[in-house]
Chains A and B, each alone.
Chain A
Amino acid sequence: MVFSLNKKALTNAIVVSLITIALVFYGSRKLQNFDPALIAYLFGTVFAFFGVVYRYSVWLQRPPTRMYFRRSLELIYNRKFFSHLVFFIKDFILNIGFQKFIYPRGRSRWIGHFLMAFGCTLAFAITFPLTFGWIHFTMNPATSIDPESIRLYEAHFFGFKIFEFELGSFIAFTVFHALNWSSWMVIIGVLIFMRRRLTQPGLIATQSFEGDLLPLVLLLAISITGLGLTYSYEFMKGFAYDFMAVTHAITVIMFLIWIPFGKFFHIIQRPAQLGAHIYKREGIKRGMAVCPHTGKEFATQMHIDDLKVVTKELGFDFTLEDGTSHLDLSPEGKRSRLAMAHLKARLENGGKLFG
C-alpha cells in the first residue's frame, strides 16, 4: 500500500498538538509548575494526540463513517437535541463507563475488561494533567515554616489551589496511591484476559500476537513497573528503582505512541457506538423499512436509504432493473430471493433436480 499523507487529517493533528502544547505552557503557569523529569512522557503524549487526531480524521472521511458523522452533526443542530442528550448521558454511563454490552458476552470477561478500563482511565486522568504541569502539589506555607505543627498539603490545578489535606490522612493516602490502585486493577484485568486468550481454542485460532497479546503484555509491564516504583522506595529501600523508572518510562511511551495504530485505538473509536444507538433511535421515530419479501419491518428506513448512498460511494450498485434496490430486502428476504433465483435457473433448465 502506498502511504500518502491526508492533508485535512494532518492539519487537524497539527492544530490539536499545538493547542495541547499551548495549554501545557499556560496551564503550568509558563512552565513554572512543569516537572522536567516528565519531559519524555510529555513528548509521548503529544505524539499520541497527534496520531490519534490524524487517524480519527482519516477515519471520519471513509464513506460509512462520514455518513454517521454527518447524521450526528445534523442531530446536534436539531431541536430534538435535548431528548437525545439525556439518552446520550445515560448510554455513556452504561456503555462507556460500565461497558454493559460486554456483560452478556461473559461475566469474567466483563470483570476483566472493566478493571482494565477503569484502571487505565483513572491512570490517564491522573497522569495527563500531572505530565502537562496542570496539577501539582505544594506544602502549605505555614507547614513549610513549622512542619511539625500543621502538616498540610495543597493540590493545585492550572495554578489555582483546589483543596488541601493533612499529610498521613486517609485522603493523602488515597491521593498518593491512586496510581497503585489503578495498577492493581489493570494487572487483575490483564491476567483474566490472558487466561482467556491462552486457553480458549476459538481465540487461539484467530488472535495475533501484535494485535491481541502484545497489548496485554504492555499493560502488564506498565503496571508492574509502576507498582515497583512505589514498593521499591516504600519497602525495599530503593532497590532497583532506576531500572523500574526507566522500564516504566519506556513501556508507557511505547503505549502512548502505539495508541493511534493498534488495539488501543478502540478506546477512541468506541464512543461511536453511542452515535449508532442514537442513529437507530432517531431512525425508528422517522419510520421503519418493510421487506418486500417477508412483509415485515426489519430496519429503519433512514438506515437503508443511507446505505444505498454509502454503497454507491464505495463502488457497489445494487440497483435492480425496476429501479428498486436489492438492499430494500431484509437479510431473510435476500436469502430467500437467492434460493428462488436458484430454483428459477433450475426450472429454465428443464426443472429436474440435478446432481
Chain B
Amino acid sequence: MPVTNYKTNQEFFVDMQRCIGCKACEMACAECETNGHESMIHVNYIDRAVTIQTTVQVCMHCDDPACANVCPADAISKDEFGVVHTANTARCIGCSNCVMACPFGVPKKNEAYDLMMKCNMCYDRTSAGKKPMCATVCPTQALYYGTREEMAMMRPNSSPVNNFIFGNEKVSTKVNIMMPKGATELRVD
C-alpha cells in the first residue's frame, strides 16, 4: 500500500440500538471510491413480522478474518493497520466462501462482476486521515468514528466491546460494538 496518513488512535464504534433504518449510510457508502460506487453497508430489518427495528452492519475487520482464511484465491488481505481489504479484483474467483463464512454476514457477492465486494473502512478516506463516509452521515451516531476518549465522554453508560462468541468460536475485531457498561464480550449464540 502507498504511504498513508491513517490515524491509529481513531476507531469505529457501532451501536445498533440507535439505528433508525434511515439508510443515509447506504447512500454515503456508495460515495466511497474504493468500492467503485457500490454500497457495501447492510441495513436490514431484524424480524419484520414482529418489530420495525433495523440493524446496521459494517465489516468488523477481524483480527483473524474468517473471510480471508476460507478464500481459495488468497484474494483478501489484512494490512498493517488491521484493515481487512475487499477482494483483489484480479484474484477473486467469486466462489462466495467468504460470504458464507463471515460470522457477521458482511461480504457481498456481485453476481454480474463475479466478484466479492465488502467494506474496507473507506480506505481512500481513512488512509488520508478522514472518517469513513457512513460514520460522517449517521444522524443517530449508531455509527461513530473517533477516539476512545471521545466515546467514553459521549456514552458514559456504555462500553465498547470487540470480542464476540459464536458457539465454540471467539472472534476479536478491530471495530467495536457498544454494549451496556462493564460488558466485555457479546455472546451471539
Contact = CB atoms under 8 A, between A and B. Distances in A.
B24 interface: no
Contact of A354 (B1, B94, B101, B158): B158
B100 interface: yes
A105 B113 CA distance: 6
B188 A337 contact: yes
A342 B165 CA distance: 12
Interface stretch (A2-10, A149-157, A268-276): A268-276
Given A101-B114, A336-B46, A355-B155, A317 B168 contact: yes
A169 interface: no
A125 B188 CA distance: 55
A307 interface: yes
Nearest to B45: A336
A206 to B, nearest CB: 6
Nearest to A340: B46
Given A202-B33, A205-B124, A272 B44 contact: no
B33 to A, nearest CB: 3
Nearest to A334: B105
B55 A336 contact: yes
Given A64-B70, A307-B97, A316 B46 contact: no
Size bin of chain B's contact surface: 35 or more
Max chain B Cβ within 10 angstroms of own Cβ: one of A269, A330, A346: A269
Interface in A242-272: 263, 266, 269-270, 272
Nearest to B122: A205
A342 B72 contact: no
Contact of A325 (B90, B123, B167, B187): B167
B92 to A, nearest CB: 9
Contacts of A78: none
A189 to B, nearest CB: 14
A198 to B, nearest CB: 12
A318 B69 CA distance: 14
Nearest to A329: B105
Contacts of B36: 105, 202
A346 B34 CA distance: 35
A108 to B, nearest CB: 13
Given A303-B100, A339-B55, A206 B123 contact: yes
A145 interface: no
A236 interface: no
Interface in A268-293: 269-270, 272-273, 275-276, 279-280
B155 A206 contact: no
A276 B55 contact: no
Size bin of chain A's contact surface: 35 or more
B161 to A, nearest CB: 9
A133 B71 CA distance: 40
B158 A276 contact: no
A220 B91 CA distance: 22
Interface in B1-54: 1-2, 16-17, 32-36, 42, 44-47, 53
Given A299-B96, A320-B189, A335 B57 contact: yes
Interface in B38-85: 42, 44-47, 53, 55, 57, 66, 69-74, 85
Given A64-B71, A105-B115, A269-B93, A345 B101 contact: no
B102 interface: yes
A211 B11 CA distance: 28
A338 B108 CA distance: 18
B119 interface: no
A266 B90 contact: yes
B180 interface: yes
Nearest to B164: A338
Interface of A: 59, 62, 64-65, 67-68, 95, 101, 104-105, 200-202, 204-209, 263, 266, 269-270, 272-273, 275-276, 279-280, 299, 303-304, 307, 310-311, 314, 316-321, 325-327, 329-343, 345-346, 349-350, 353-355
Given A62-B72, A342-B179, 17 more contacts: A68-B95, A104-B113, A105-B89, A204-B2, A269-B93, A303-B97, A311-B101, A318-B169, A326-B169, A332-B105, A335-B105, A338-B104, A339-B46, A345-B179, A346-B17, A346-B180, A355-B155
24 contacts: A59-B74, A68-B95, A104-B112, A105-B115, A201-B33, A201-B124, A205-B127, A206-B85, A272-B93, A307-B70, A317-B168, A318-B167, A318-B168, A326-B188, A331-B42, A332-B105, A336-B47, A338-B55, A339-B55, A341-B188, A345-B183, A354-B158, A354-B180, A355-B156
